[in-house]
Structure 1
């Protein structure tokens, strides 16, 4: 699951701004490719292994490599900050959100689960207005309603493909929102890699706890390759999303997160022969369009501010 954006630095001339935006866009697309490839690989592994075992074993590799990377960059010096409440809230919500989402992902189409997850900016707008008292004007509310309608078209309550896993995918959004809001209260002096290591460790531990209630299965060489590859792509996603958010303007770079839906549609067709029906495709379009509009309006609001 993609992690929260960071504030981009100020950019100088038009030429520098254009170059930074192009770099940010390329990094954003790369991060979405990495994150979705991770999802695809562990979904393939789920055909042989239970959820908790997958999350724990992938976490062993990912957390170890992230910790090594953080140590080399001096990002582990802020370890005392880990004991603060924002870190705890973020770690717990990240772990639970990952488990809930993956439980849904392993039982439904990759394209559908991914599209539902991309409605996150829409629901963040609602939470920001209701709980954080941020000003949201009518145009953004209209985009939120359109996006919510898109989500309903994707999950199609009462339809043939609707089941409890569709609701789990939507429920995971609530936990991801808690994760992202908790991140806002972590001191900005804390390195992004420190946050990533703690989050990855929490997810790994939650997978280990879940695996205690499952029957562990032998890991074949093929499954080991899938899990190892997933861990590497997950780290690639972390590194790329940081590069994306540190380059260019957020309102320009952020909408390219929706490239992940193209990757998900491609993987769903290649590996499982799945194509969303016409109603779901319209819903996906509405979610993407409304999300891009929300990013656009937020960008304008920040420039005015």
Structure 2
């Protein structure tokens, strides 16, 4: 694997995390004012229009998609819908940084699931890092604690959905355009939550709400596209730990916009999870250097 592919994947991952966290901030700012299904539908309309125009101009709407890839796209759509519902429900009821801290388990779940499903060998050191990382997740969630909330489990459900989404994306053939997958994803979000919201009363939206919804749509476009591109460049075990940069954005925006700061135990748990991801990154880089000098197939 060329080193430039891994670097490109890392940069795309960081851009994806920034875009998604800014989208989360815009959406959370509307919590309690606008119903969730209404927000997801309106954001879906905007993103579908923008992405549809871009996809048309790029000529990807005429792309020939294999039956295998259509199956993976369908699986990805289901995972994306589940991730949107579980994550935003949790976000509307928990501090931004707390929700994002739990999401830092994604590099661990993706690496572990890839090893189980795709038989990628990860070695005992990285397996130990994954187990330690899950201890950190438990410190964040803290079932039974006085300040425990059921919405922590909603975030864990979102983690499972995103893991499925990313691994499905990883299996897509390179001939399937990323923008086409992004467009189909956006349509599925819009259609599902539009139908789910039928019969509910819609809340009126002032200028502030419209601007925030528009901003969320712009950010989610970037997040969708980067998240698709990143899973198709470089090695998954190398790129996944760069998700931790989302926590930096969440801490800063949560404090600046909402005045929230996580409890010490939450920060300790998040640090353990991030540290586990960074250790896996270190191990991958070390193995890569050995491979570069020895010119032999690399163990993982």
TM range (shorter): 0.7 to 0.9
Q: Tell me whether 1:276 sits opposite 2:262 in the alignment.
A: yes
Contact 1:251 1:296 in 2 (8 A): no
Of residues 57, 69, 77, the one that matches 2:42 is 57
What is the RMSD computed on CA atoms of the aligned residues? 2.8
Say if 2:210 is the partner of 1:218: no
Equivalent residue runs for 1:25-36 within 5 Å = 28-36=13-21
Matched, 1:184 2:184: no
- Partner residue in 1 for 2:108: 122
> Cα 1:251–1:89, aligned 2, differ >3 Å: closer, same or farther?
closer
| TM-aligned CA deviation for residue 236 of structure 1 | 2.7
Residues 1:10 and 2:10 are matched in the alignment:
no
Structure 1 counterpart of 2:294: none
State the TM-score, normalized to the length of structure 1: 0.84
2:54 corresponds, among 66, 69, 78, to 69
- Identify unmatched segments of 5+ residues in structure 1: 1-8, 12-16
Matched, 1:78 2:59: no
Query: For residues 150-172 of structure 1, what are the alpha-carbon distances to aligned partners after superposition, in whole Å with 9 as ceiling and x for unaligned?
Result: 11111111122211100010011
Q: What's the offset of the Cα at 1:84?
A: 2.5
Answer with 98-107 or 234-243: which moved more.
234-243
In the alignment, does 2:153 pair up with 1:167? yes
Q: How many residues align?
A: 290
The 3 A distance-change label for structure 1 pair 165 and 237 is: same
Partners in 1 of 2:133 and 2:58 — Cα distance?
Answer: 40
2: CA distance between counterparts of 1:175 and 1:24? 21
Q: Match for residue 228 of structure 1?
A: 214
Q: How far did residue 254 of structure 1 move?
A: 5.1
Structure 2 residue 182 is matched with structure 1 residue 196: yes
Instruction: Give distance in 1, aligned partners of 2:166 and 2:229.
Output: 18
Further displaced range: 80-89 or 121-130: 80-89
The residue aligned with 1:42 is: 27
Q: 1:228–1:116: structure 2 CA closer, same or farther, 3 Å change rule?
A: same
State TM-score, norm by structure 2: 0.86
Question: Any gaps of 5 or more consecutive residues in structure 2?
Answer: 292-297
Structure 1 residues 106 and 79, CA gap change in structure 2 (3 angstroms): farther
Distance 1:131 1:32 in 2: 25
Give per-residue Cα distances to partners, 1:129-160, cap 9 Å, x unaligned.
33333323111111011110111111111122
SS at match of 1:45: coil
The verdict on how the C-alpha distance between 1:86 and 1:30 changes in structure 2, with shifts beyond 3 A counting, is closer
**Matching residue of 2:191:** 205
Whether the aligned pair in 1 keeps the contact of 2:170 and 2:232 (CA below 8 Å) is no
Is the Cα–Cα contact under 8 Å of residues 46 and 54 in structure 1 kept in the other structure? no
Q: Secondary structure of the residue that 2:63 maps to in structure 1?
A: helix
In 1, Cα distance between equivalents of 2:173 and 2:12: 25
**For residues 62 and 81 of structure 1, do their structure 2 counterparts lie closer, same or farther at Cα, with a shift above 3 Å needed?**
farther
Using the TM superposition, give the Cα deviation of residue 107 of structure 1 relative to its aligned residue in structure 2, in angstroms: 0.7
